[in-house]
């Protein structure tokens, strides 16, 4: 039953190619902003930084963990940080000539046939 649902979701995803438009937009806007010469390694460093900022934003908004009050407003919203991670991930794909849509589709084809379990 789970495989059927995943296959149905996969087929629906196949019909939608909006992510290609987003990736192309990011490629163009990165060039316009003057960042197109950054290497994939430089972008990986930026991605790591942005993932850290996303973690801090989630911690700030959604956990009981303490946050330094002086730095409380140094981080944007979770949504904004997710967007930054997505943009830089797309930029890494563009640097490496990887179509994000195609690599997600290939990986999901593999994932559909995996057996998943949850810790109890």
Q: Is residue 120 part of a domain?
A: no
Q: Is residue 119 part of a domain?
A: no
CATH number, domain with residue 89: 1.10.287.1080
DSSP state of 96: T
CA distances to 28, 40, 51, 115 from 44, rounded to whole Å, are: 19, 6, 10, 31
* Of 44, 22, 45, 52, residue with least CA distance to 96: 44
- Evaluate whether 59 touches 65 at the Cβ level (below 8 Å): yes
Q: Is residue 89 part of a domain?
A: yes
- Evaluate whether 81 touches 50 at the Cβ level (below 8 Å): yes
Block means of pLDDT (10 residues each) for the chain, length 120 residues?
71 73 88 90 97 91 70 78 96 96 94 84
Range of the domain at 56: 2-112
Number of domains in the chain: 1
Supply the pLDDT for residue 100: 95
């Amino acid at each position: 039953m789970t495989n059927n649902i995943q296959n149905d979701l996969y087929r629906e995803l196949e019909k939608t190619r909006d992510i290609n438009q987003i990736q192309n937009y990011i490629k163009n806007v990165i060039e316009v902003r003057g960042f197109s010469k950054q290497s994939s390694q430089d972008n990986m460093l930026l991605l790591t930084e942005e993932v850290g900022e996303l973690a801090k934003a989630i911690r700030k908004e959604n956990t009981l963990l303490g946050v330094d009050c002086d730095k409380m407003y140094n981080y944007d919203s979770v949504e904004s940080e997710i967007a930054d991670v997505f943009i830089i991930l797309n930029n890494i794909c563009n640097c490496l000539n990887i179509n994000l849509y195609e690599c997600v589709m290939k990986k999901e084809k593999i994932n559909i046939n995996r057996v998943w379990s949850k810790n109890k």
